[in-house]
Chain A
Amino acid sequence: MNAKALGLPGRILGVARLSDGAKGATTQRKIARKLPVQKIWSTTALVALQLAVLVGFVVLWEVAAEFKIIDPFFWSQPSSIWSTLVIFLTQGDAFTDIAFTFRSTIFGFIIGTTGGAVLGMSFWWSRNYAQIVQPYIICLESIPKLALAPLIVLVFGMGLSSKVATATALTVVVSTLTAYAGVQAVDRDQERLFYSLGASRWQVFKKLVVPSCIPWIVSILRVNIGLALTGSIVGEFVSSQHGLGRTILYAGSTYEISLVWVAVLILSALSMVMYVTVAWLEKVLRKGVVH
């Protein structure tokens, strides 16, 4: 009887049974301790460690460059990157560049996402139309859009519009396909319910198809902001008079490596700001859709 009491419940339930006596209880407590429990550190400790890693990395880089362990000509070093950053931000037209890249990204993002969403949802209206257009969309998806960048710049010129166009090209197809997936996932029975209540097609579209597709479109926003930024930078690489992408290209070709790093840093900051904004927008939209 004792053996039974010891063997079974502890392993399965891991609950201390008072009636089993001292020995049984200890065995079970030991078993309970073997459970893989991870201790979570406090947020302050985590942030402090994250900062320590960053500081350590910067210091290591600086020291390695100082002692010529890595070649500062190719790799630059934190101190000169910092002074370049200060110069870049205080003199010259840094903010023109930042604004240029920012604007083309945002425009490309908005045009690509809304255009794609509208196109994808329009497939709901006619199955024949969807069947005809779909192969082309899939074709477009398989083309590496960045390869088209030189062509886009030729067509749209050197100004902002060509960058917006590259950013749009990168985002529009994904958005279309996602919105179309949303359309295909519209609940058949809900559609029948609407029609049984005497709804017109426009009402079904407005009150059922669009709200059903919104979570799908929202899910693509964060991906699209990154794609749009890539698109506008590549557009600037091809040919441009402004922008952070153009700054990187220019600095690289004149071996001003610190400036390359500065532009990359600002670009990362810009990307982070946009990403956080879009993530926030996503949250608001999800709530809005839900309420």
Chain B
Amino acid sequence: MAVPDQTIPTHPAVEIQGVTLNYFTPDRETLALANVSLTVEQGEFVAIVGSSGCGKSTLLSLVSGLLPPSRGSIRIDGKEVAKPSPRVGYMFQKDTLLEWRTIIDNVLIGAELLGIDKIVARRRAEDLLVRYGLGDFLHSLPGQLSGGMRQRAALARTLCCEPDLLLLDEPFSALDYQTRLALSDEVAGILSAERKTVILVTHDIGEAISMANRVIVMSRRPGRIKSERKTDFPSFGPTRPTPFQARKCSEFANYFQTIWDELDIHQIH
């Protein structure tokens, strides 16, 4: 009766293999992604940076299952993605809160659509909102909240269904710089505490370096992966610094410079 310790084969969280995507519109065909391959391990935080229109959002749509790839394959936990799954939480650039629902009802939308036990979901939603400092706003409407609060509510909604994989598409881009720094610090804390696998798309190189374990740089359209770089901060010590601390580490400036050069931001076409 030998019971092996590890019976469950561990797959990478996300495997993207040779993915190509063409958008077809009546007047033209756009090659958005060309032969993209990327592997994300369980519990890893990966950031994708790239110039506007290089296909970052498209890549997230593909991983979420909203869009099928023209060629190539995408696997989550070793299973081919065929349609959206509640195990994947997708957070959009806009908070997409429903204006006619209270904050708590917005957070509960996922549970409602999936037919999850209401009482359990409600408790979790309340718990999340209280933790994100929205305890006094459970029954407010989104219109009564500030941009940062709305974004936190959207994050609570994303996390309420307990997804294992999070896809964040420029979640902080609508915010001012200070709020953005504070919120990215908070979110990084929340996500590392919950040991989520995260793919973050951003325009902000600093945000990418400070939040992620690995930064992927994408080339201009058609989107390809140009480089990958692990962002370690040995000068900080054995633990990972918070995003705010990371920005002050000596390695930060080096990473920033390298990635900036790779992005070719000054060459605007």
Contacts and interface: CB of A to CB of B under 8 A. Distances in A.
A197 B86 contact: yes
A198 B96 CA distance: 16
A207 B113 contact: yes
B96 A197 contact: no
Contacts of B65: 196
Contacts of A193: 90, 92, 96
A260 B94 CA distance: 59
Given A207-B109, A207-B113, A211-B100, A196 B88 contact: yes
With most chain B CB atoms within 10 A of its CB, the pick from A187, A195, A197 is A197
Secondary structure at the A interface, as helix, strand, loop or mixed, is helix
Contacts of A86: none
Given A203-B113, A207-B109, A207-B113, A195 B84 contact: yes
Nearest to A290: B100
Interface string B55-94: 0000001001110000000000000000111101010111
A196 B99 CA distance: 19
B113 A189 contact: no
A197 B110 contact: yes
A208 B101 CA distance: 11
Interface in B207-266: none
Contacts of A190: 96, 98
A198 B85 contact: yes
Interface residues of A, number: 19
A76 B100 CA distance: 53
B156 interface: no
Contacts of A156: none
Interface string A165-208: 00000000000000000000001011011111111000100011
Contacts of B100: 211, 214, 289-291
Interface string A96-118: 00000000000000000000000
A56 B90 CA distance: 68
Interface string A195-232: 11111000100011001001000000000000000000
Contact residues on B (Cβ < 8 Å of other chain), bracket: 20 to 34
B161 interface: yes
A198 B90 contact: no
A211 B98 contact: yes
Contact of A189 (B92, B109, B112): B92
A193 B110 CA distance: 9
Contact of A194 (B64, B85, B113, B161): B113
Given A189-B92, A207-B113, A197 B98 contact: no
B114 A189 contact: no
B187 interface: no
A189 B92 CA distance: 7
A196 B83 CA distance: 8
Nearest to B83: A198
B113 A198 contact: yes
Given A193-B90, A198-B86, A290 B113 contact: no
B141 A197 contact: no
Nearest to A190: B96
Interface string A267-291: 0000000000000000000000111
Interface in B25-42: none
Contacts of A290: 99-100, 141
Nearest to A215: B100
Contacts of A197: 84, 86, 109-110, 113-114, 161
B98 A208 contact: yes
A192 B110 CA distance: 13
Contact of B90 (A196, A208, A214): A196
Nearest to B90: A196
22 contacts: A187-B96, A189-B92, A190-B96, A192-B61, A192-B66, A193-B96, A195-B84, A196-B65, A197-B86, A197-B110, A198-B85, A198-B86, A199-B113, A203-B113, A207-B109, A207-B113, A214-B100, A290-B99, A290-B100, A290-B141, A291-B100, A291-B102
Return the 10 tightest CB-CB contacts between A and B, nearest first. Answer: A196-B90, A199-B113, A197-B110, A190-B96, A193-B96, A196-B84, A189-B96, A189-B92, A197-B113, A289-B100
Given A189-B93, A192-B61, A211-B98, 14 more contacts: A190-B98, A192-B92, A194-B109, A195-B66, A196-B84, A196-B88, A197-B86, A197-B113, A198-B85, A199-B113, A207-B109, A290-B141, A291-B100, A291-B102
